[in-house]
Amino acid sequence: MIIDVNAFLGHYAFRRLRHNRASELLAIMDHFGIVRACVASADAILYRDSHMGNVLLREETLPHSERFWCYATINPAYAEWRHDLRQCLAWGFKGLRLYPKHHGYSLQDPETARLIEAAAEAGLPVSIPVRVEDPRQRHWLDIEATVSIEEVLAAAERHRIATFILTESVPPLQPDAAIWARMRRVNLYLEMSRMTAVMENSIGFLIQHLGEDRVLFGTGLPFKTPSASFLKMLALDAPDEAKRKVFGENTRHIFGEPPRYPQNKE
Amino acid sequence: MRYRTIEDVKRLGHPVIDCHMHVRSERGDPAGGLDIRHCDQIIEANAKLGITLSCVIDLNVTGPQPYEMFHRANDRAAAAAARHPNHMRAWCFVNPGDPRAMEEIEQRVRDENFIGVKLYNQHRLDDPMLDPILDRCAVWGVPVLSHAGRPNDAETRARQPKISDASHFAAAARKHPGTMIIEAHLGGGGDWEWALKYLRDAPSVYVDIAGSVVDEDMMDRTVAAIGAERLLFATDMTYEGSMAKALDAELSNEEFSGLMGRNFQRILARRAI
């Protein structure tokens, strides 16, 4: 089973996105054999009230709820985030999405800590993209800062009950770095769409140092072209069992299978 | 929607050419020899993705680059091509501001059969200092591959103040219409949409599609802007992403064949020395 842990629906303010409607994304998913996609609202990245992105995401995915697991994009620095989180939980959203750089807060802020704890208590994994776009092509109104693995690791160390997913990440490639021991002690998973399986082979390196249970398949659709991640899995020199975990088993475990949607017969 | 696979690449029946790839020195030492292990890894990676020929430059291209450095770098590129003669060819990298740049080009391109000239960011492509090089390449019928980008972030702009963007390529092409100029790595991280605006009206400028940016509509937008005949497959070390851009582009079989090797073969066929 292939699950894409890093997908979006909706519009992005700084660049046209194609295939950003549910029906269009589903067509691509079907072509590549992606059974389910974990989707966040692209609108919510830059909306002042990011919860409006969640509203649109729910409307868009409702007819296809067996194929999408929705991230609730919540800004803990904005008004009444608890209401937004409660509503997303009532709608069956399966994960939390944070944009600390775009939304102007720190993962160390007390209110962020309360949001992470609330999500963890509700069983939602916390997903954080390192970046939305490459900063070198940034729009002049966009930010340059990216989220560091150190920031997320520190948050994971503070919130041991929470599960963190770092998307668009590139792992450190120093084999003896103390960071590996720290990463192994917390619930932190890394999505692989910016990594490689040839030459420096950062995916293989990550599997070697953190374990095959911690790597998640993602595409970045519809921001990014889908074959890149599939080629990485094709080129990855790893046992079939490890690939199966990366392709979907790990994500299914994180998101708490069996699924809550009764129409899902898998 | 049309998505090709690696099997489609392997069925092409002609060389699949990565026109922009790098070798490197042992331990990153600019005075050192070729990193053999890394060089051989390129061949292994190529086999996985169906690439049959890599056109390589040494990775040590940054900084002031006096003659001794780029000459040594070209020695490593030559060593790579000699190690894998059927699967690697070399570009001649120079700092065009060095007084011995032309001497190096003559040795490598004319005498040692290097493909053409590779430039980095020491000087902008439309700088008059480069005129003799671009003219010479036109006479010899060999291409010029130049680093490029339109970075919108402060860090890259500060680090590469003389990086050439598409406007500099277009200006150089107007001055030297007979020179085959290749703008490197459209997906190299700068504003590729900005680049397309200038490339539309620069018919002698080719574009290599390498780079870590794999924006979903980049290839189709590029084909719509400049056509498919000026597109060249390249990785610049970002293997799967660059191949994915080629596989996922809306191209006819003939256009795909051109992208993956035929277009670059036509460039190589114009060699006149």
pLDDT, tens digit, for every residue of A50-81? 999 999 999 999 999 999 999 999 999 999 99
Query: Does the CB of B50 have a partner CB in chain A at under 8 Å?
Result: no
Of A140, A224, A235, the CB nearest to B214: A224
Query: Does the CB of A77 have a partner CB in chain B at under 8 Å?
Result: no
Residue A66 lies inside a defined structural domain of this protein: yes
Per-residue pLDDT, B151 = 97
A235–B217: do the CB atoms touch at under 8 Å? no
Strand order in the sheet with A68-73: A2-9, A34-41, A68-73, A95-97, A126-129, A164-167, A188-191, A215-216
Of B150, B212, B244, the CB nearest to A231: B244
pLDDT digits (tens, 9 = 90+) for A6-27: 999 999 999 999 999 999 999 9
Q: How far apart are CA A116 and CA A159, in angstroms?
A: 8
Nearest to A159 by CA among A126, A197, A128, A205: A126
SS3 readout for chain A: CEEEEEEEECCECCECCCCCCHHHHHHHHHHHCEEEEEEEECHHHCCCCCHHHHHHHHHHHHHHCCCEEEEEECCCCCCCHHHHHHHHHHHCCCEEECCHHHHCCCCCCHHHHHHHHHHHHCCCCEEEECCCCCHHHCCCCCCCCCCCHHHHHHHHHHCCCCCEEEECCCCCCCCCCHHHHHHHCCCEEEECCCCCCCCCCHHHHHHHHHCHHHEECCCCCCCECCHHHHHHHHHCCCCHHHHHHHHHHHHHHHCCCCCCCCCCCC
Query: Does the CB of B160 have a partner CB in chain A at under 8 Å?
Result: no
Per-residue pLDDT, A259 = 40
Residue A262 lies inside a defined structural domain of this protein: no
Query: Does the CB of A148 have a partner CB in chain B at under 8 Å?
Result: no
Interface test with A, best of B23, B215, B250 (most A CBs within 10 A): B215
For A144, phi then psi, to 5°, come to: -100, -25
The Cα-based distances of A103 to A6, A54, A99, A124, A140 in angstroms read 19, 15, 6, 20, 16
The Cα-based distances of A21 to A39, A70, A106, B90 in angstroms read 11, 14, 31, 45
**Cβ contact A75:A105 at 8 Å:** yes
Residue A261 lies inside a defined structural domain of this protein: no
Q: What percent of chain A clears pLDDT 70, i.e. is strictly above it? A: 96
Q: Which residue of B has its CA nearest to A222?
A: B216
Residue A51 lies inside a defined structural domain of this protein: yes
Query: Does the CB of A209 have a partner CB in chain B at under 8 Å?
Result: no
Query: Does the CB of B152 have a partner CB in chain A at under 8 Å?
Result: yes
Q: Which pairs with CB-CB distance under 8 Å and at least 24 residues apart come from A41-44?
A: A41/A8, A41/A9, A41/A10, A41/A71, A41/A73, A42/A8, A42/A9, A42/A10, A42/A11, A42/A12, A42/A17, A42/A223, A43/A10, A43/A11, A43/A12, A44/A10, A44/A73, A44/A97
Instruction: Collect the ranges in chain B with pLDDT lower than 50.
Output: none
Nearest to A130 by CA among A63, A218, A229: A218
A137–B192: do the CB atoms touch at under 8 Å? yes
B212–A140: do the CB atoms touch at under 8 Å? no
**Cβ contact A152:A158 at 8 Å:** no
Greatest alpha-carbon pair distance for chain B in Å reads 51
Query: Does the CB of B15 have a partner CB in chain A at under 8 Å?
Result: no
DSSP state of B208: E
Q: Which residues pair with B90 in a beta bridge?
A: B56
The separation between CA A217 and the C-alpha centre of its own chain, rounded to angstroms, equals 10
Q: How far apart are CA A241 and CA A51, in angstroms?
A: 38
Structure tokens at A117: 């704890």
CATH of residue A114's domain is 3.20.20.140
Determine the straight-line distance between the first and last CA of chain B, rounded to whole angstroms. 44
Q: How many CB pairs under 8 A join A and B?
A: 108
Question: Mean pLDDT lowest for which of A15-19, A174-178, A197-201, B24-28?
Answer: A174-178
3-state secondary structure of B91: coil
Query: Does pLDDT of A173 surpass 90?
Result: no
Confidence of residue A257 (pLDDT cuts 50, 70, 90): low
Per-residue pLDDT, A174 = 82
A138–B48: do the CB atoms touch at under 8 Å? no
Return the H-helix or E-strand segment holding B144. Answer: strand B144-146
Q: Which residue of B has its CA nearest to A234?
A: B48
Domain count, chain A: 1
**Cβ contact B124:B164 at 8 Å:** yes
Using a CB-CB distance cutoff of 8 angstroms, which residues of chain A are in contact with residue B155? 135, 144
Q: What percent of chain A clears pLDDT 90, i.e. is strictly above it? A: 92
Residue A123 lies inside a defined structural domain of this protein: yes
A227–B149: do the CB atoms touch at under 8 Å? no
Residue A264 lies inside a defined structural domain of this protein: no
Q: Which CATH superfamily is domain B6-268 in?
A: Metal-dependent hydrolases (3.20.20.140)
Strands (DSSP E) found in B26-122: 53-58, 88-90, 92-93, 117-119
Of A144, A220, A229, the CB nearest to B153: A144
Work out the burial of residue A223: count CB atoms within 10 Å of its CB; fewer than 13 is exposed, 13-18 middle, 19 or more buried: buried
Using a CB-CB distance cutoff of 8 angstroms, which residues of chain A are in contact with residue B42? 199
**Domain span at A160:** 2-254
Distance (Å) from the alpha carbon of B101 to chain A's nearest alpha carbon: 31
Per-residue pLDDT, A264 = 32
Q: Which ipTM was obtained for this model?
A: 0.96
Q: How far apart are CA B189 and CA A61, in angstroms?
A: 32
Residue A260 lies inside a defined structural domain of this protein: no
Per-residue pLDDT, B2 = 82
Per-residue pLDDT, A261 = 35
B6–A222: do the CB atoms touch at under 8 Å? no
Query: Does the CB of B116 have a partner CB in chain A at under 8 Å?
Result: no
Distance (Å) from the alpha carbon of A34 to chain B's nearest alpha carbon: 15
Q: Which residue of A has its CA nearest to B151?
A: A136
Using a CB-CB distance cutoff of 8 angstroms, which residues of chain A are in contact with residue B214? 220, 224-225, 228
Using a CB-CB distance cutoff of 8 angstroms, which residues of chain A are in contact with residue B240? 196-198, 228-229, 231-232, 235
